[in-house]
Amino acid sequence: MRELIVGSDTLTPPYPILVEGTVVEGFGRGGKQLGIPTANLPSSVVDQALENIPIGVYYGWAQVQDDIVRPMVMSLGWNPYFKNEKRSGEVHIIHKFKDDFYGKQMKVAILAYIRAEKDYTSLEALVEDIQCDIRAAQESLKRTEYAAVQSSSFFNQS
């Protein structure tokens, strides 16, 4: 069993990491194969703004267009289970959306690192770990300093 609170009690550098970009089509696996839909950051954001942070799983807040700011988990890396040849940034916004949002603007505030990327022996083990990541994000974001980012000016600018 993993810890449900991840990261220090206060935000410490380099966090928060604030990025934004247009949601692009990914590999089509998140929602279809895993039941965990993702909004993919453009490669320009992954290659430039996120080039100096370790690959792995992170949590924070995300907003698509003018929708409300919601908790998120983000995989940054190569997705070894799927043998990706390109590093990707895949954001799972913790909410059930009716439609996808390809082509819409997304803002992401990355607040902490959850764990390293790893390979899995089964799809079920991968999904189980992602569900643990989601629970850890939800619990960790309840802390005052982390919760405050949800209403920060980064998300509220027009």
* Active site positions, annotated: 90
CB 40 within 8 A of CB 25: yes
CA distance linking residue 132 with residue 86, whole number of Å: 25
Distance of CA 15 to the CA centre of its chain: 14
The secondary element (H helix, E strand) that includes residue 129 is helix 123-140
Report which DSSP code applies to 48. I
Question: What six digits make up the tokens of 30?
Answer: 């998140």
> Residue 64 pairs with which residues in a beta bridge?
106
Name 114's Cβ contacts closer than 8 Å, sequence gap at least 6: 6, 56, 57, 58, 59, 73, 133, 136, 137
Question: What six digits make up the tokens of 101?
Answer: 């949002």
